[in-house]
Structure 1
């Protein structure tokens, strides 16, 4: 059985390598690589570290949130925003100060290229570090993908990004998972996709943080099947791997997806006195308790006490060639020693700030589970006779791909997405929950309304109409400013340019002659963005003065 697993893993890697070579030959891939190179040139213009106070990050999915190892800060990196008509990809870095309750955007020289579906972990080494591996860059039409296999480290003390060029690492991929373990970190799974095919991985790699070397691991026993978007959690004896998603091709243009609900334990066979663990073994875990219903794309994080908390997720049900999606906002707790599940229930209370569509009943739940969230993994129940009108609590709405982390006795939840009719709504709200006294969620920042941005486009004619509309310049007052990324109140131009530059560069590239130098396109794009920025700021000021006058 082990040999079959390893053989399948090697086959997946070979397939991915062939796909990577083939994708470079696909029509338009040269443009994609040129776009990435253009963004790299833009990033080289910033040679010194600086930071600015700003609003929360713009709406996006498939970013990473990490806990600063030495400060009360949460770090947000990268991600993508899909409007249905166009995709934006980012490589900006934001820090949220828990004590000050404020955001700053950090401009660090030589950042990784723009990406999403990557992985990032923070380590308390050399003044603190954040390591980033892999991910993907999607074309504006979300039809072509460039997968990364690069490794980067951000030094919090030196305030610099550095690309680590170590051979023998994992192949290019996204949707993988990464976790630190003693003096190494592990990378597992993921997928590689081209416009015509895809492959999922179940290979395991280790990076030695002392020697800066990659090693491919071949644990004994039967491990997980190929998958992406699974979760890695630390246990007292090793690493727990649970869940994930994969799909198989049934026939041309027909795929079938699977949400995995199995669980495996990866443990060292021996613990060396020095250096990373090389010999590992797989073990299948037998779960118990009230296991959550089948779902994928949920968030889960360790909260101390050898336990982890899970929130949200989505279940897709195929019915007559239609996919019906159920988005969850319930919570569950997992004991990382006994692997026993039970609901995480909020205690009675009615505090905190509600958000749109976020009111649920502490007794009745949200309709997707029989039980609502439970307090810090204890099994106390809210009495069935409780007065429902007096025991309302506020819970983030159901969503997929929420990002959750624990810091200082609090659980923090950021963003995610859900579907509303035919629209995908991308969230950028921030919530906190006191794990010591979990009466209700506190909405720290509300989400922007992104439903109006969704522009589903199914035909080539509508694509051409969209391009024609976008050709309108920012200085043309007859141009609808909603065609361009909106300026946020109190946002500096540097912050605005960092998150919207892709939009302006594409506009200028389409309008420019073929022999126009890249630096001239950059300058014109920045001038156009600045003009739109000033125009919107002027309009904001006019509205604020009018409101003061009216009041």
Structure 2
């Protein structure tokens, strides 16, 4: 739903009952002056029926509709899902006495488009752009569904009809300060030597080495001058800065809530899955869309709270089984024991001044084992490793 010209516009959706389901592609408008609903009948060819699509308004008062999901029945008890990646524009053709006339048109944007996904979120950003964040792509197998979650940003330039991915530039000021400090130290330490020695270019050193059998080999070695050494040192410093600067970012998720204020994007909550378990997030991040340098953590996620939520679900199942057998005293005892056992389990702690890469290398097998236990023996190894790394990263960021 979006607000457009004193109206609230609703498109699509679905209704599911115990026996059947149906997807919609109709458009309704709620007039904010008369407080009445009306069904719109746009001309042209519009989107196919779907749910889960996202809508955004343009400065001219048009509406952009992107993506969505639908499924259709192939045969009895077998459905096929479809991730929609098309984009449409709903715009007014003119104002009549009673209601506006609307028309559909299909958009074919250029650039780098988002990968197919559902559960993404959209917001209106600065510079006549809308943005897309997160989502999930479900891989449907015969008896299971595995989802790949995203935490990337894509921008859509409304004026140019073009997609492009959002790239984090990183905090440049810190890098420049470190580089200037290193240059100052190097210049201060080498001032005396530079006064004594004139500037030198590349120097070629020729050495003769005599082998045991009497063979004479000539070895040439070229020593680079100060300019080349400076270029090499700068490239090495950039690599070091990239390795040391671990970027903070929201973990992959779907159905996050977005808001943009004064050019700053705020991302709150969402959900992700590990095996058969769903986790609801309550963290809050922000990023300056003008600079695109780094994410800032406004409210951190408590990993212990997430573990407790997962354990409480299993505890309730155990309690129901014990309650069916009868015995309130045994029920209370089992709850206390399960709480004690849950409290004893602790993740590997982060050592003082330990970098994320070092922590992951030291504890990787623990997180892989934990991810495997949650996802089950049938989960793909690549997916297990990906989830394990995400869990380790989240715990590391919450610990430092």
Shorter chain as denominator, the TM-score bin is: 0.5 to 0.7
Give yes or no for contact 2:55–2:122 (8 Å, CA) kept in 1.
Answer: no
Q: Structure 1 pair 209/322, CA: closer, same or farther in 2 (3 Å)?
A: same
The total of aligned residue pairs comes to 270
How far apart are residue 438 of structure 1 and its match?
2.5
Tell me what 2:158 maps to: 336
Q: Is residue 2:217 matched to residue 1:394?
A: no
Q: Is residue 2:261 matched to residue 1:438?
A: no
Q: Is residue 2:258 matched to residue 1:404?
A: yes
Q: C-alpha deviations, 1:525-551, integer Å up to 9, x for none?
A: xxxxxxxxxxxxxxxxxxxxxxxxxxx
Give yes or no for contact 2:91–2:102 (8 Å, CA) kept in 1.
Answer: yes
How far apart are residue 420 of structure 1 and its match?
1.6
Tell me what 1:105 maps to: none
Higher share of residues assigned helix: 2
Give yes or no for contact 1:423–1:451 (8 Å, CA) kept in 2.
Answer: no
Q: C-alpha deviations, 1:345-396, integer Å up to 9, x for none?
A: 1112299xxxxxxxxxxxxxxxxxxxxxxxxxxxxxxx99942214432110
How far apart are residue 182 of structure 1 and its match?
1.2
Tell me what 2:321 maps to: 465
Q: C-alpha deviations, 1:131-162, integer Å up to 9, x for none?
A: xxxxxxxxxxxxxxxxxxxxxxxxxxxxxxxx
Q: Is residue 2:258 matched to residue 1:258?
A: no
How far apart are residue 463 of structure 1 and its match?
9.2
How far apart are residue 321 of structure 1 and its match?
3.9
Runs of 4+ in structure 1 deviating by more than 6 angstroms, as ranges, are 455-458, 469-473
Of 187, 190, 196, the residue aligned with 2:13 is 190
Of 109, 114, 117, the residue aligned with 1:287 is 109
TM-score (norm 1): 0.45
Aligned runs of 1:100-249 on 2, under 5 Å? 178-237=1-60, 238-249=62-73
Aligned runs of 1:372-387 on 2, under 5 Å? 386-387=238-239
For 1:350 and 1:462, how far apart are their aligned partners in 2?
A: 53
TM-score (norm 2): 0.60
Of 319, 323, 347, the residue aligned with 2:145 is 323
Q: Structure 1 pair 385/255, CA: closer, same or farther in 2 (3 Å)?
A: farther
Give yes or no for contact 1:425–1:451 (8 Å, CA) kept in 2.
Answer: no
For 1:418 and 1:426, how far apart are their aligned partners in 2?
A: 7
Q: Structure 1 pair 481/312, CA: closer, same or farther in 2 (3 Å)?
A: farther
How far apart are residue 462 of structure 1 and its match?
7.1
Which ranges of structure 1 fall in alignment gaps of 5 or more residues?
1-177, 352-382, 484-551
Larger Rg: 2
Q: Which has the higher contact order (CA 8 A, sep 6+)?
A: 1
Which ranges of structure 2 fall in alignment gaps of 5 or more residues?
174-234, 340-400
Q: Is residue 2:310 matched to residue 1:454?
A: yes
How far apart are residue 468 of structure 1 and its match?
5.2
Q: Structure 1 pair 386/239, CA: closer, same or farther in 2 (3 Å)?
A: farther
- Report the RMSD for the aligned CA atoms in angstroms: 3.4
Give yes or no for contact 1:245–1:259 (8 Å, CA) kept in 2.
Answer: yes
